[in-house]
Amino acid sequence: MKNLIGIEDLSTEEIEELIKVANDIMKHPELYSEKCNHKKLATLFFEPSTRTRLSFEAAMMELGGNVIGFSSASSSSTAKGESVSDTIRTVACYADIIAMRHPKEGAPLVASVKTTVPIINAGDGGHNHPTQTLTDLLTISCEKQRLDNLTIGLCGDLKFGRTVHSLITAMSRYKNIKFVLISPDELKIPEYIKEEVLEKKKIEYIETNDIEEHMEKLDILYMTRVQKERFFNEEDYVRLKDYYILNKEKLVNAKKDLCIMHPLPRVNEISIEVDDDPRACYFRQVLYGKYIRMALILKLLNIK
């Protein structure tokens, strides 16, 4: 594997290996602190980000490497009309590995054709977000000690939420996975995910708009934000933005060992009263994101 464009670029064995390395980094960070000496990571973010960009940068720094890049299209030559291809060919002259986020679906794939430097998709429009999925897989494996035999509730904006699309694709390769897809009608999971992943792999799933209906069955509840920036009109966003607000009351029937996840940023979809519940994993999930990205950088740079 040279690039990470979609989670399907990784075999199950490769994912297992990344999780193993991430666990080892967590236990012995000192053994990894010079692995990327003299290497440079470029983070090219044409869309806003806090966790993804900063965790990539922190990951590279903790490996002893350096970081260059930009955090908005407006501060790069994109603002002058430069194409993604030209930007990538330029940055490839300076960096050993590139993580890019772009509002256009498929932009990282286009970029990867233009260079031999490894490209990591850090989110492309409403399409995919494979490194968030690696983060989610490490979180699930550390918090639940397994990646199979799980009933996973995905709640919120399942239409535009790229983390959801990549997570369903990834989890569909493990045994006995069931999904409860919780969304308003307007924000249901895209047909292509149903046809190409869920139905093709004969995965059991239920669609509902009621967050409490199947709560007692869930091992994981993955909350998501309504993706304001992907809406065509403000009115629809305002109507749907607070459709779900997870609070203590809605968790009354939930399992004692439920794992509540969220890729973050949170807007209103999880009430802050839930943050102190030991089942709230979303801030631990942030930290797992740094370790799995460290493992991924090592893999793509072929560093043992």
- The footprint of ligand NCD (CB under 6 A) covers 51-52, 123, 129, 132, 162-163, 225, 263-265
CA dihedral 159, 281, 238, 179 (to 10 degrees): 30
Q: How far apart are CA 257 and CA 279, in angstroms?
A: 7
> Which of 101, 165, 173, 299 is flagged as catalytic?
101
For ligand NCD, which is the closer residue by CB, 121 or 132? 132
Based on the residue annotation, tell me whether 250 is a catalytic residue of this protein: no
Nearer to ligand NCD, 18 or 261 (CB): 261
Instruction: Provide the token pair at 47.
Output: 């869309």
| Beta carbon nearer to ligand NCD, 92 or 263 | 263
- 52-72 in b/e form (b: 16+ CB < 10 A) is bbbbbbebbbbbebbbebbbe
Backbone φ/ψ region at 259: left (φ over 0), alpha (ψ -120 to 50), beta: beta
Q: Closest CB to ligand NCD among 165 and 299?
A: 165
DSSP-derived secondary structure letter, 281: -
- The least distance separating ligand NCD from the CB of residue 175, rounded to whole angstroms, comes to 27
149 vs 176: CA distance, rounded Å: 5
Q: Closest approach of Cβ 156 to ligand NCD, in Å?
A: 9
Nearest-angstrom CA–CA distance, 168 and 181 = 10
Q: How far is the CB of 130 from ligand NCD (least distance, A)?
A: 11
Residue placing its CB nearer to ligand NCD in the complex, 129 or 178: 129
Shortest distance, CB of residue 132 to ligand NCD, whole angstroms? 5
- To the query of whether residue 53 is one of the catalytic residues in this protein, the response is no
129 included as an active-site residue: yes
Residue 101 annotated among the catalytic residues of the structure? yes
DSSP category for residue 211 = S
Name the catalytic one among 39, 40, 51, 284. 51
Specify the residue for token string 């897809």: 181
Helices assigned H by DSSP within the chain: 12-27, 51-62, 84-91, 107-113, 130-144, 162-171, 191-193, 234-240, 282-300
Q: Tell me the pairing of strands 66-70 and 97-102.
A: unpaired
Q: Is 12 a catalytic site residue?
A: no
Considering beta carbons, is residue 89 or 188 the nearer one to ligand NCD?
188
Tell me how far apart the alpha carbons of residues 186 and 159 are, in angstroms, rounded to a whole number: 8
Q: Which residues are catalytic?
A: 51-52, 80, 101, 129
